[in-house]
Amino acid sequence: MTLCKLYGIGWGLLWTSICLGQAPASCPADDPETPLPRRVAFATQDNIVIVGSFIAPADQEKHPAVILLPDYKQDSSSYAPLILPLHNAGFAVLAIDPRGHGASTGSAELGLARRVEQRDPKLFAEIHRDVEAACHWLLEQPNIDRTRFVLVGTGLGSGVALDYASRDASVDGVVCLTPAMSWPGLDSVRHVQKYGRRPLLLLACEDGRKAIEHLKRFAPEAIDEIVINPADADLLGTHMLGHVADIEERIVQFLHEAAGPPATHPVVASVRSEVYHEPESSAAKRIKATNRRWFSSPQEAEARGLRPPKPKDR
């Protein structure tokens, strides 16, 4: 069974065009080597169950990890054309349905879908918790290089990616497809300033120029690109995938460079702390598993605002 034929199996994640944006009829014949996404679920710290789809690395080596965050009222299936390019480039890929979206609507009593419809700023401001839970789940999977971790967001997902990355210095790079200057409950200007000098790629068609140029003012190190779309089509976010020439390759190349090479001297820190530690130190072992984050080197950690422990704390 190819990925294109997962439509209709009851997942609610419509992987109907995952073969590089092709229609199902144009997908290749069944290939036993084609990776199948696995439906996964995990709980956030505020007890919301988040559903996603995961494609593991193809071999037993350590691989970088990427989390994909969809736009408002979309779900993880919107990233279908990007999944195989990321997998083929060696990434472990987790695409999630944020709270109130797709299969992550919870019980009727929670009213998550209703709050999404209402564009509830409190709900949008809480989605970073979904990314935190996704990060913890993903980095605990086999064959993941915990020191190499990147995010991709589109629309609302771009705002969420910047929000989360501003809180977690271990994020190595972020790609934003058609980002907005702000969403209810999300201040992307403030988040991009706090994100600092880490790699950031802002991609949009002409209609998104104003927003990415505005964000660029507060993130001078960011790479901003206005992509050319065919027939002047008004393509936003993941609708660019499979339509704008070479956009998947551009995203994958950027993420590969942002993730960097395998670490030779990794260090660990709590996402709630500004101090890093040697992985085998007693201080590192006291860090709660859900808060533990990895950096490729002491130099990387320090470049992102962390400091070494005092001698008595090592």
Name the token pair of 228. Answer: 């050319």
Q: Give the C-alpha separation, 180 to 155, whole Å.
A: 6
pLDDT tens string 203-218: 999 889 999 999 999 9
Task: Determine contact, residues 38/55, Cβ cutoff 8 Å.
Answer: yes
Q: What is the pLDDT of residue 311?
A: 80
User: Residue 195 is inside which H or E element, if any?
Assistant: helix 188-195
Q: Which residue has the tokens 């080197």?
A: 297
pLDDT exceeds 60 at position 197: yes
User: Residue 52 is inside which H or E element, if any?
Assistant: strand 49-55
DSSP 307: B
Residue 75's DSSP bridge partners are: none
Greatest distance between any 2 Cα atoms in the chain? 64
Task: Determine contact, residues 215/189, Cβ cutoff 8 Å.
Answer: yes
Domain ranges of the chain: 36-259, 267-313
Q: What is the pLDDT of residue 185?
A: 97
Q: Give the C-alpha separation, 6 to 2, whole Å.
A: 7
- Of 105, 99, 73, 102, residue with least CA distance to 12: 102
Identify how many contiguous H helices and E strands the chain contains and give both numbers. 10, 13
pLDDT-derived band at 235 (thresholds 50, 70, 90) equals confident
Return the percentage of the chain with pLDDT > 70, whole number: 86
Between 36 and 302, name the one with better pLDDT: 302
Task: Determine contact, residues 173/150, Cβ cutoff 8 Å.
Answer: yes
State the DSSP string of 201-226.
EEEE-GGGHHHHHHHHHH-TTSEEEE
Name the token pair of 274. Answer: 């500004």
pLDDT-derived band at 58 (thresholds 50, 70, 90) equals confident
Our CA angle for 13, 171, 274, nearest 5°, is 135
Q: What is the pLDDT of residue 230?
A: 59
pLDDT exceeds 70 at position 13: no
Span of 43-47, 191-195, 226-230 with lowest mean pLDDT: 226-230
Q: Which residue has the tokens 């085998």?
A: 280
**CA quadruple 5, 25, 32, 21: dihedral sign:** negative
CATH second-level architecture of 36-259? Answer: 3-Layer(aba) Sandwich (3.40)
